[in-house]
Amino acid sequence: MPSQPLDQATFANSFVEELRGETNPDPGSRQVPGYAYSRVTPTPVAAPHLLAWSDDLGHFLGLVRPPERGPAVDALAGNLVTETMKPFAARYAGHQFGNWAGQLGDGRAMSLGELTATDGSRWELQLKGAGPTPYSRRADGRAVLRSSLREFLCSEAMHYLGVPTTRALSLVGTGDEVVRDMFYNGNQRPEPGAIVARVAPTFVRFGNFQIFAASGEMENLRALADYVIRHHYPELGEPGPAVYVTWFEEVCRRTAVMVAHWMSVGFVHGVMNTDNMSILGLTIDYGPYGWLEPYDPGWTPNTTDFGYRRYAFGQQPQVALWNLARLAEALSLLVAEPNDLRAGFGRYTETLAGTRYRLMLDKLGLSHLAPEEDGKLINDLLKALEAAGADMTIFFRQLSHVAPSLLVAEPGVEEARFTELLAAAAYTPLPSPAYTPLLAWLPRYLARLRQETAAPEHIKTGMLAANPKYVLRNYLAQNAIQAAEKGDLTYLNRLMESLKTPYAEQPEFEEFAAKRPDWAWDMPGCATLSCSS
């Protein structure tokens, strides 16, 4: 399929054509009972210009990279709606921080329709920051460069890490300013506006089902379930009560795989509300996210969550299960025996444990030789990392080099090499009693590694492929934001290039593999963010 500009691409519109929506042109905030979506029109911006583009995703979608300005960028900014686009904002509800919030919906996102990729699959294209919708709840429907750049970078970074995720096609500056209060503390200021084009097979989330169940809209609930199954789970067969049960179990499985990958790379979503949970098991809605630097299961980057730390790193597996239970409550209205849905919870628990175990074995270069011993070894490692507060990414990456080399090293060098490893990952200078558990764990691990039959070089290759060198640390994103706000995209482009091959050494990008610097520990945007970030 030849590549074409976005403004000349043909869009399909299955969500609009197969589900019930309202066509009221009023963009004002309101309740929208009885509908799955509202047809909307993007609000034009002053001077749309391309800031960033995902070449790989664009190629997959059969799109050519647009010039900085022109019709394709106008479409990416909402200034141009082509004949085949049928923009809509979805209606959904959700539990936010554990509390029922009622109708939410796409308050600053508008889907333009679906593009057919080069492999024949369909992908929904959504603009975030394109203006108000009926679901904007007194907000302006806009987004700032700060949050848009973070979402663009993280969507693509997660994809290249191998984590199930939505994607981002482009980042467009609007030429307008948007007033935001970053930490909700009364310090409003104008910031440059931007729009990110997000891409996924669908942006349907748990909350889309919750709104129908809570409102007693059975026909809409069943129609949405049938739509999702037919388009995104066709292998399950024709929708019906039995298939709904099987489908929920598969949603549980996919969600478990996603969360296991988060835990493997140290990713903290930051705002796991039910309206931020994809029905496809994809990471969605990149807001106040972060990566563990000092290993701390209780850490959250979200200032809104500092009181209870509901969405802290170590809480993510349990919160995902809680969210699945809320989805089950909605879907229970469609099945003959609601208790049948409980099998999905078992599938989630089993898949999460199995996937996390497998991913940890890969990170440690171990095969399935000694499950009981390895399970204890993994648990002890995580406790030791927490006690030390070591940098998670750097520790595992350094281990990938050091441990296999010790398999063929002269005796007596282990202690020195282990000390060097910990020094590279340490935020607290060595020597320190905080590192005693790790120093005791490393010889145990090396003894277990010596039981492997694979060649040391093969073990090293496997570990390097499982332990990224480059992740999107918040201070790196903040550096890119500050430069972009001044009109300099060099840092953004270099950072994006490094994140496209996060498991490669890439010595030319060594600066992006460094620990969080001292200046970033308390700087807004580096250590802490809010839901508006």
Do 313 and 291 touch, CB atoms closer than 8 A? no
What's the domain count of the chain? 3
Please indicate, yes or no, whether residues 91 and 160 belong to a single structural domain of this protein. yes
Please indicate, yes or no, whether residues 336 and 473 belong to a single structural domain of this protein. no
Please indicate, yes or no, whether residues 174 and 260 belong to a single structural domain of this protein. no
57-101 tens-digit pLDDT: 999 999 999 999 999 999 999 999 999 999 999 999 999 999 999
DSSP letters of 434-473?
GGHHHHHHHHHHHHHHTT--S-HHHHHHHHHHHS-S----
Residue position matching structure tokens 């664009």: 58
Do 232 and 121 touch, CB atoms closer than 8 A? no
Furthest CA-CA distance within the chain: 77
Averaged pLDDT, 361-382: 97
Q: How far apart are CA 494 and CA 513, in angstroms?
A: 13
pLDDT of residue 492: 98
CB 344: neighbour CB atoms within 10 A? 26
278 in a structural domain: yes
What band does 139 get if pLDDT is binned at 50, 70 and 90? confident
- In three-state form (DSSP H/G/I as H, E/B as E, the rest C), the secondary structure along 188-220 is CEEEEEEEEEEEECCCCEHHHHHHHHHHCCHHH
Do 145 and 191 touch, CB atoms closer than 8 A? yes
84 in a structural domain: yes
Nearest in space to 277 (alpha carbons), one of 183, 222, 200: 200
The mean pLDDT of the chain is 96
| Domain enclosing residue 49, as ranges | 6-203
What band does 532 get if pLDDT is binned at 50, 70 and 90? low
Please indicate, yes or no, whether residues 387 and 531 belong to a single structural domain of this protein. yes
pLDDT of residue 531: 62
Do 483 and 492 touch, CB atoms closer than 8 A? yes
Mark which of 361, 384, 400 sits at the end of a domain.
Answer: 361
Please indicate, yes or no, whether residues 136 and 17 belong to a single structural domain of this protein. yes
242 in a structural domain: yes
pLDDT of residue 137: 87
Residue 324 has pLDDT above 60, yes or no: yes
1 in a structural domain: no
How many degrees, rounded to 5, is the angle at CA 393 between CA 391 and CA 399? Answer: 95
Print burial letters for 358-374: b (CB count within 10 Å at least 16), e (below 16): ebbbbbbbbeeeeeeeb
Do 491 and 149 touch, CB atoms closer than 8 A? no
Query: What residues are labeled active site?
Result: 275
Please indicate, yes or no, whether residues 312 and 338 belong to a single structural domain of this protein. yes
434-487 tens-digit pLDDT: 999 999 999 999 999 999 999 999 999 999 999 999 999 999 999 999 999 999
Averaged pLDDT, 389-400: 98
pLDDT of residue 1: 61
Residue 183 has pLDDT above 90, yes or no: no
Averaged pLDDT, 365-389: 97
Query: Is the entire prediction scored with pTM above 0.85?
Result: yes
Please indicate, yes or no, whether residues 28 and 136 belong to a single structural domain of this protein. yes
Averaged pLDDT, 345-374: 97
Do 394 and 427 touch, CB atoms closer than 8 A? no
Please indicate, yes or no, whether residues 240 and 276 belong to a single structural domain of this protein. yes
Here the tokens at position 167 are 């994607």
Please indicate, yes or no, whether residues 229 and 87 belong to a single structural domain of this protein. no
Please indicate, yes or no, whether residues 351 and 385 belong to a single structural domain of this protein. no
What band does 187 get if pLDDT is binned at 50, 70 and 90? confident
499 in a structural domain: yes
pLDDT of residue 127: 98
Q: How far apart are CA 307 and CA 330, in angstroms?
A: 29
pLDDT of residue 530: 64
95 in a structural domain: yes
What band does 184 get if pLDDT is binned at 50, 70 and 90? low
CA atoms within 13 A on the CB side of 51: 34
245-280 tens-digit pLDDT: 999 999 999 999 999 999 999 999 999 999 999 999
Mark which of 203, 223, 240 sits at the end of a domain.
Answer: 203
Helix (H, G, I), strand (E, B) or coil at 403: helix
Residue 231 has pLDDT above 50, yes or no: yes
Please indicate, yes or no, whether residues 356 and 464 belong to a single structural domain of this protein. no
Please indicate, yes or no, whether residues 140 and 232 belong to a single structural domain of this protein. no
434 in a structural domain: yes
Residue position matching structure tokens 């078992």: 346
Mark which of 184, 203, 222 sits at the end of a domain.
Answer: 203
